[in-house]
Structure 1
Amino acid sequence: MAVGELTSARVDAWVWAVRLAPSRTAASTACRGGHVRVNGDRAKPATMVKPGDEVRVRLSRGRGELSDERIVVVRRLLVKRVSASVAVEAYEDRTPPPPPREERPAAVAVRERGMGRPTKRDRRAIERLRGH
């Protein structure tokens, strides 16, 4: 081991450094909310990780939605944010690929002839059908 090489790092700092979270605050908040697990156990922000540990991270996409879970194994410890190309080398991604999306035909809204202009309620129903 080289002089000054890390043996462990805080999970919130590591998740931020390898770019799994957009900010250190977001990483800490995810830990406190129970969205980060280290080796299957809920992790507090100060939980230490070391090479070989499995980290599962579930961060929000915005508007309260949770994204898919990322499963990574720690290869190298980092506490400072690095470029994306260096960050990818610091972990092994074991996240399963997403299931294939089902292609369904677009729904067509049909109105009877002579019904006149659609109401606001009708327009919203049409938008829902079209997936907007």
Structure 2
Amino acid sequence: MAAGMSEQQRGAGLRIDKWLWCARFFKSRAQATQAVIGGRVHVDAERVKPSRMVYVGDRLEITREALRFEVVVTAIPVRRGPAAEAQGCYAETPASIAARERHQAQSRMAAHAAPSGRPDKHARRVLRDLRRG
């Protein structure tokens, strides 16, 4: 949204930490506040404080563990309701969806490729030879 618009022109807003909690990105409001303080949440590509008001149309970048979400605020929730209601408060960008799916596919592949225990003598020799080149 435009920086020069007043709060009345922008419509109703909500604190970023409360919005993240209501939209179910975090299990508690305290976790949402810590994420914002820690710099894992950006509004319109700038780092913000937990008291920053969020309005419809704002673009949020949320990093949670290894996942990164890019969403556009579509509604300001009145309360923390069920997940289906929470998902109606934002629209995830297509690029964010593709990146998240790619990350999940890589995680699944890595889980299948992990060794199933300690390597035996033969496998240790192969690994040692690979490291030495």
One-letter amino acid of the structure 2 residue matched with residue 55 of structure 1: L
Q: CA deviation at 1:20?
A: 0.5
Secondary structure at the residue paired with 2:97? coil
Contact 1:13 1:80 in 2 (8 A): no
TM-score, normalised relative to structure 1: 0.67
The answer to whether residue 32 in structure 2 is matched with residue 32 in structure 1 is no
Question: CA-to-partner distance for each residue in 1:8-48, whole Å, 9 max, x for gaps?
Answer: 11110000001011110000111111111001011210111
Tell me, which stretches of 5 or more residues in structure 2 are unaligned?
1-10, 125-133
The one of 20, 43, 48 equivalent to 2:48 is 43
The answer to whether residue 69 in structure 2 is matched with residue 70 in structure 1 is yes
Tell me, which stretches of 5 or more residues in structure 1 are unaligned?
1-5, 60-65, 113-121, 123-132
Instruction: Name the counterpart of 2:97.
Output: 96
The answer to whether residue 127 in structure 2 is matched with residue 111 in structure 1 is no
Secondary structure at the residue paired with 1:15? helix
The verdict on how the C-alpha distance between 1:7 and 1:105 changes in structure 2, with shifts beyond 3 A counting, is: closer
TM-score, normalised relative to structure 2: 0.67
Please say which structure displays the higher CA radius of gyration. 1
The verdict on how the C-alpha distance between 1:44 and 1:79 changes in structure 2, with shifts beyond 3 A counting, is: farther
The verdict on how the C-alpha distance between 1:86 and 1:20 changes in structure 2, with shifts beyond 3 A counting, is: same
Q: CA deviation at 1:105?
A: 5.0
Secondary structure at the residue paired with 2:91? strand
Instruction: Name the counterpart of 2:23.
Output: 18
The verdict on how the C-alpha distance between 1:25 and 1:39 changes in structure 2, with shifts beyond 3 A counting, is: same
Q: Would you say how many aligned residue pairs link Structure 1 and Structure 2?
A: 103
Identity %: 28
For residues 24 and 107 of structure 1, what CA distance do their matches in structure 2 show? 39
Instruction: Name the counterpart of 2:6.
Output: none
The verdict on how the C-alpha distance between 1:84 and 1:107 changes in structure 2, with shifts beyond 3 A counting, is: closer
Which protein has the bigger helix share? 2
